[in-house]
Amino acid sequence: MNLTLAFDLLLAAALLWSGWRSLSTPRLSRAIVMFVSFGLLMTLAWARLQAPDIALAEAAIGAGLTGALLLDTYGALRRRQHQENGA
Amino acid sequence: MKPWTVVVAVLAGALALIFAMLDLPAPAFDLLPAVTTHLPASGVEHPVTAVLLNYRAYDTLLEVAVLLLALIGILALGIDADPVAPRPVEAMLSILARLIVPAMIVMAVYLLWAGAHRPGGAFQAAAVLAAGGVLLQLGGLIASWSAPRARLRWSIAGGFLIFLGVALVTGLESTLLQYPMPIAGRLILLIESGLTISLGLILSGLFLLLSRDRKNEAP
Amino acid sequence: MSSSMVFAVTGVLLFAIGLAGMLIAAHLLRKVLAFNVLGSGLFLVLVGLPQRDGMADPVPQAMVLTGIVVAVAATALALALLRRLHALTGATSLPRDTDA
């Protein structure tokens, strides 16, 4: 097994681990953060698959924009929940 | 649906797919030679850009329409006011936004131009512009969109309208989206420029329509 | 096994994880996360499978580029619907149907 194959296997294992942890963590904020790191690992995977266009798009959209959308929605849900519990 | 049933069924399906994939025969036809032989006639030098904006330009046109529909869907849901006043802006984020966003705009224009020769193109440039828009809103430098006015709406629809215009003109002359060879490169650049601005606005609008303003006063 | 095949197999496993997550999770935000993981796995299969002989195929790469942008738009629409649902009813999960 040469070094590049070992790197690819390690990257695949990291992808599977972060994907699974993102869906199985009980705390939602941690799940979103794990999803952002999953997106960054996907960028590395695209670079290894000789797809630099997709790597550029995934870095900006998959990790950045989707992460911002998810965190903003989570914050809005929590604020409204606090307001309803307090009122 | 019981969780264990779902897990076992999905795992069995995944294992079957993996065994099928490892045993897959060679594909019947190969598209790569077709792409590379016609690359000089397509107007650009990068195969992915040629596929996106020339060979499969119709799919890209429909995709921009889908993005526009998603934005219209979010607009149609209505924008409700945030119940609690949001947190004030941190100074560091505001300074970071002021420093980085001009560089991001330059980077986006470079990605748009470089899409003809190397990895890049309209979608990557629009993604960088959208990230810049999100950063500007988080740093408190622009307001979230509460009532988009006419100029913003025309800019959002403009890229799609340019693409549609080119499609109609080429459709009325010969075949839909068949660029005449001498001006193919320039047509692609025109379409990509419109798409960069429009898609940048659409993608940042997906965030800016929902996120509420950060206030600038002390708590 | 070539490196692109490793990623194709990873894509199938991510698809399975995402599908199980979408069916099992109750909170709608988790369903959206699972949908994104499922989509990413699918894109890995689309790009990794044609590449098992070594040459990068530009046609599925263009398709996946389109797919990533459409997936983020669908995610944004789903999150907007979730916020609307929460603003109107206060619930973050769909009501369980009882077949009693």
Q: Each residue's pLDDT tens digit in chain C (100 positions)?
A: 788 899 999 999 999 999 999 999 989 999 999 999 999 999 999 999 888 777 888 999 999 999 999 999 999 999 999 988 888 888 888 887 766 5
| Fold of the domain built from segment(s) C3-89 | Helix Hairpins (1.10.287)
C24 touches B: beta carbon within 8 Å = yes
Which residue range forms the structural domain that includes residue B72?
Answer: 44-208
Shortest Cα distance, chain B CAs vs residue A43, angstroms = 13
Question: How far, in Å, CA of B66 to CA of A10, rounded?
Answer: 36
Q: What's the token pair of residue A28? A: 């939602």
User: Smallest Cβ distance to B48: which of C9, C62, C69?
Assistant: C62
CB atoms within 10 A of CB A25: 16
By C-alpha distance, the chain C residue nearest B73 is: C77
pLDDT confidence band for B82 (50 / 70 / 90): low
- Asked whether the beta carbons of residue B124 and residue A73 sit closer than 8 angstroms, the reply is no
Which regions of chain A are under pLDDT 50? none
User: Smallest Cβ distance to A60: which of B82, B127, B212?
Assistant: B127
User: Smallest Cβ distance to A23: which of C33, C48, C83?
Assistant: C33
- B26 occurs within a structural domain: no
Q: What's the token pair of residue A8? A: 């690819």
For B56-191, where are the E strands, in sequence order? none
Question: How far, in Å, CA of C13 to CA of B43, rounded?
Answer: 39
- Asked whether the beta carbons of residue C58 and residue B22 sit closer than 8 angstroms, the reply is no
Q: What's the domain count of chain B?
A: 1
pLDDT confidence band for B80 (50 / 70 / 90): low
- B191 occurs within a structural domain: yes
Contacts of A58 in chain C (CB under 8 A): 68
- B6 occurs within a structural domain: no
- Asked whether the beta carbons of residue A69 and residue B206 sit closer than 8 angstroms, the reply is yes
Domain range summary for chain C, segments of one domain joined by +: 3-89
- Asked whether the beta carbons of residue A53 and residue B111 sit closer than 8 angstroms, the reply is no
- Asked whether the beta carbons of residue B51 and residue C57 sit closer than 8 angstroms, the reply is no
Q: What's the token pair of residue B25? A: 């025969």
